[in-house]
Structure 1
């Protein structure tokens, strides 16, 4: 059975200047990074669909991304795959003293607090002077995810609504502010600011509901795509195309597609 060493050897061969793959040789950290993000989302999609055979394949694709970056780093003299493994093993041991040491934690919440405290110490030791409660939220994250992380960190120091009621109030307030901007002539900069506030509160609502924002949006996207494709199919059965119809007729097909799912 192939091992991780076999995968490393395959990657080294692909990147070889002596007969390697021209495409692989052209890649850089910057060009590969979007594929890394894409593969992570495909892993999440397979989990969401409970397609575990596909999950196996997608995890392999994600592992290849790690190997690809590590190979390029080794070629540049930065580090090798073994250093990546060593670093993550050291981090897991260091951040779980209740498992690999003498510390004790009584709950997952306590472990999260301990984890954050250890991360703060590591940042300070590395010379990071940012001691804000919001420190350590990567700017490369999707913005909805940054919103969630920022809210979670603020909540850990008590800056949070006690329940979902005020979140609904805030959401209504922000929606009314968007409505007011439209009524005032819909200045693009103001609209962007107010719609951003709506989205930020929506993330907060999902957090209070203990709903995964990404999963909820994936489900909404899948539902829309499924119903829209059914609309196209129903229209085709009637000998027409959606693009040739007015909105009222299209809405009728949407209602039919929706009704079929009940």
Structure 2
């Protein structure tokens, strides 16, 4: 039988690439968006879901299970970027980012688990970020929200093993998507003490996304994980140096690694 896959944030970027690739490989795929009417030409159905609204999560999961009778794979892909000096980011924006990047995925997981326990089978893939392995300047809130999801996955995996429900993280590096356009950017204030370093870092971040890898690389990684009997806890997908930065953080003294990051960001 064909496996049924739910991808949050499946209307563009990485989610769209993964959905199209899985569809072409014989999976039954459902994507989600807050505004599904904008994606009527999608290669797979796009259902309404806002990870910040529990009622939309529950409704969409029920629609899929009622129609297909099962749900084999959840890919928690919906996420939001955020940049700025932490001192200058409004508290409401910090909370909103965690609602999308951390609490949202947890609520989607909670919605699919009763069905996966009933099946005694299921796979949950959380899309995090290589940025979640380190505190990056002017991306500290994003790093924190993605890092929190990385850690909670480690705990969740152990809690779910007895139900034969598997969970893993995929941490992508920079990919050529529209994520930069959808980020919350704390404004560059003329009187801000952070104006020049934040502005320079913002330009560097946007350049990294514009020259990023093809999202098809993520799609192929997802398919490989779905076909893996016992997925690892963590996967990293991206350019060599981005993945190697995690290794360096593990082996270098903290202050040396900090100096390396500051040199990279010209701080």
Output the TM-score relative to the length of structure 2. Answer: 0.22
Output the TM-score relative to the length of structure 1. Answer: 0.23
Q: Which of the pair is proportionally richer in strand?
A: 2
Q: Which of the pair is proportionally richer in helix?
A: 1
Which has the higher Rg, Structure 1 or Structure 2? 1
Task: Point out which structure has higher relative CO (alpha carbons under 8 A, 6+ apart).
Answer: 2
